[in-house]
Amino acid sequence: MLIDQISIFAENKPGTLAEITAMLAEASIDIEAFTIADTSEFGILRLIVDAPKKALAVLKLGGWVATLTPVIAVKMDDQPGSLSKILKMFAEAGVSIEYLYAFVAREAGYAYVIFRVEDAPKAVAILEASGVVTAASLA
Amino acid sequence: MAYYQESMERASRDEMTALQSERLVNQVKHVYENVAPYRAKMREKGLEPGDIRGLEDLYKLPFLTKNDLRDEYPYGYLAVPLSECVRIQSTSGTTGKRVVAFYTQHDIDLWDECCARSIVAVGGTNEDVVHVSYGYGLFTGGPGLNGGSHKVGSLTLPMSSGNTERQIQFMTDLGSTILCCTPSYAAFLAEAIHDAGLIDQISLKAGIFGAEAWSEEMRREIEKNMRIKAYDIYGLTETSGPGVSFECAEQTGMHVNEDHFFPEIIDPDTLEVLPEGSKGELVFTSLTKQAFPLLRYRTRDVCVLTRKECSCGRTLIKMAKPMGRTDDMLIIRGVNVFPSQIETVLLNQGYPANYLIILDRVSHTDSFEVQVEMTEEMFSDEVRFIEKKEAELLASLRAMLGISPKVTLVAPRSIARSEGKAVRVVDKRKI
């Protein structure tokens, strides 16, 4: 199962993040996960939200360059070895990971890891074949 | 050494001057009788056609500028009935209202002959395959070289611009030997040919590249990457199109087809004619055109004219590659840069033509930044993809300009739009 991540181009200048989050707040969009890849000149914001299509429309209307990126969200036990186990599976199958980020889930004892991989359908098939659950949402 | 029209290209000074004088006298009469706005300009100076008895009187005539032509758009400077015209070409109109130039069949023939001289000068014969990748249509590049190639008797490939894959396929399948296009497109094609691994399968020997400013570095780059000799050609829609002047094997400037276009260099401020070898604004007087004969037309190109013996045997006066414009030229780290060059690169790479050049001086060196707006097509959620695009843009800018700017990607629509002439340059240098 793949979920939509919002990716946004942001210049490195004061106020950019405040502006984007204010816009999403006004549209009552809940940000569930948020990370930034930054270079010396610009950043790429990566967000998981409760209503990605609506968020994309709001951002585009506001003049931002944004896209939906399919990513895999894996819910795993929040304990040593969980992530390692999955990465090992990917490594053995030759699945190349572009980036990932992780955070603790609302439900105690669990964590979510968001994977952006080169070949998403293949990665999902590998996970499902080994009984790993890919989340349809982070709610 | 081969020539297309040896008697003109190698005329003695006396023969050429006599011919130019005779043609000028007739042309002034033709213009005075048929072009009302120019007649008014002459009368303002108290001039009648009889006052122009030869080249020595040329300096008396009033100048024409692009604005004069725009003010009288479209028919004001037309000198023959429309029934005698067979074609128009037009400027792009990017700097304002467009200029439409008219041609009789005689004008087209002369223009084609000028382009034929260029093709023969780079070694073209009826055995050659001339690959014309200039745009066809209102732009003069395609039609001009197309006509020239017909005159030479070469097999002409009317490719027009774009569709790089098809360009390369025709080059390999039909054995193109002479490529005609803008230098930036030539550089781009060279890269594409290498990427496709087809450099050993093309038979190009020469290229005729014009319609935009390019550096000697860019010439060497294209020559090396395409394994050809790269030649310059110059022209403007207002005088006819490409072929006003052309480069020969010596590659040290362009021979002006002065039997058709008489060149002068003037001081753009005082309007005084400057002696040979001086740097100033290039001015052309059309000696033979019937439909759209412009007298003393100010090109805004900054240039030098020199009359030295050329190893190619031509006696036609030579003009240097234009060193800039009297209008929007920038000098950055000693290099002439035109905002239009940057625009060309951006458009070629699929960026919006909305950009901002920021110049500053940091510890005695010019800093040069080009801000470019991010687009949906350019964007990716991966940093390395965006950085790759940025590097490609930087390489093209370096090839075009001869110096490297710092490229900064900015948010879409963050560069101010303007209704009139857009602000493209912020120069903070204190010199």
Which string of DSSP letters, residue by residue, matches A14-65? TTHHHHHHHHHHHTTPPEEEEEEEE-SSEEEEEEEES-HHHHHHHHHHTT--
Determine the residue of chain B that is closest to A69 in CA distance.
Answer: B381
Partners of residue A7 in chain B, C-beta under 8 Å:
379-381
A49 and A90 in a common domain: no
Torsions phi, psi for A19 (to 5 deg): -65, -45
Q: How does residue B420 score in pLDDT terms, banded at 50, 70 and 90?
A: very low
> Does the pLDDT at position B253 exceed 60?
yes
Of A7, A9, A99, the CB nearest to B374: A9
Residue after which a domain boundary falls, among B326, B342, B369 = B326
Whether B102 contacts B308, CB under 8 Å: no
pLDDT at B422: 58
A33 and A81 in a common domain: no
Q: Is residue A49 part of a domain?
A: yes
Domain that holds residue B420: 330-427
Q: What is the rounded average pLDDT of the residues A51-74?
A: 94
Lowest pLDDT segment from B175-184, B217-226, B322-331, B382-391? B322-331
Torsions phi, psi for A70 (to 5 deg): -75, 125
Torsions phi, psi for B158 (to 5 deg): -80, 70
B340 and B307 in a common domain: no
Residue after which a domain boundary falls, among A22, A48, A69 = A69
Q: What is the rounded average pLDDT of the residues A54-76?
A: 94
A114 and A64 in a common domain: no
Q: Is residue A13 part of a domain?
A: yes
Cα–Cα distances in angstroms (integers) from residue B121 to residues B145, B157, B320, B372, in the given order: 13, 19, 17, 40
Q: Is residue A124 part of a domain?
A: yes
B320 and B229 in a common domain: yes
pLDDT at B17: 97
B213 and B115 in a common domain: yes
A-B contacts at Cβ under 8 angstroms: 50
Q: How does residue B418 score in pLDDT terms, banded at 50, 70 and 90?
A: low
> Does the pLDDT at position A16 exceed 50?
yes
- Tell me which residue of B281, B359, B370 sits closest to B327, measured CA to CA: B281
Partners of residue A66 in chain B, C-beta under 8 Å:
379
> Does the pLDDT at position B386 exceed 50?
yes
Q: What is the CATH number of the domain that holds A31?
A: 3.30.2130.10
Domain that holds residue A50: 3-69
B357 and B296 in a common domain: no
Residue after which a domain boundary falls, among B281, B296, B326 = B326
> Does the pLDDT at position B20 exceed 90?
yes
Q: What is the three-class DSSP state of A117?
A: strand
> Does the pLDDT at position B421 exceed 50?
no
Q: Rounded to whole angstroms, how far apart are CA atoms B154 and B207?
A: 14
pLDDT at A81: 93
Q: Is residue A136 part of a domain?
A: no
**Average pLDDT of chain A to the nearest whole number:** 92
B322 and B335 in a common domain: no
Left, alpha or beta for B364 (phi > 0: left; psi -120 to 50: alpha)?
A: left
Whether B237 contacts B90, CB under 8 Å: yes
For the stretch A79-138, pLDDT in tens is: 999 999 999 999 999 999 999 999 888 888 999 999 999 999 999 999 988 888 888 777
Q: What is the rounded average pLDDT of the residues B118-145?
A: 95
Residue after which a domain boundary falls, among B267, B296, B326 = B326
Q: What is the rounded average pLDDT of the residues B218-247?
A: 94
A45 and A96 in a common domain: no
- Tell me which residue of B311, B232, B380, B86 sits closest to A8, measured CA to CA: B380
B344 and B286 in a common domain: no
Lowest pLDDT segment from A58-62, B49-53, B195-199, B210-214? B210-214
Q: What is the rounded average pLDDT of the residues B235-251?
A: 95
pLDDT at B66: 87
Partners of residue B370 in chain A, C-beta under 8 Å:
none
User: How many structural domains does chain B have?
Assistant: 2
For the stretch B282-309, pLDDT in tens is: 999 999 999 999 999 999 899 999 999 9
Q: What percent of chain B clears pLDDT 70, i.e. is strictly above it?
A: 95
The DSSP code sequence of B255-309 is: EE-TTTEEEEEE-TTT-PBPPTT-EEEEEEEESS-SSS--SSEEEEEEEEEE---
Cα maximum dimension of chain A: 46
- DSSP label at residue B60: G
> Which residue do the tokens 């060497």 mark?
B220
User: How many structural domains does chain A have?
Assistant: 2
Distance from CA of A14 to the nearest CA of B (A): 13
Partners of residue B375 in chain A, C-beta under 8 Å:
65
Question: Does residue B416 belong to the interface with chain A, where contact is any CB pair within 8 Å?
Answer: no
B353 and B290 in a common domain: no
pLDDT at B344: 79
Q: What is the CATH number of the domain that holds A89?
A: 3.30.70.260
pLDDT at B342: 87
Q: Rounded to whole angstroms, how far apart are CA atoms B111 and B148?
A: 8
B422 and B308 in a common domain: no
- DSSP label at residue B64: B
The two structure tokens encoding residue B144: 């001009």
Question: Does residue B385 belong to the interface with chain A, where contact is any CB pair within 8 Å?
Answer: no
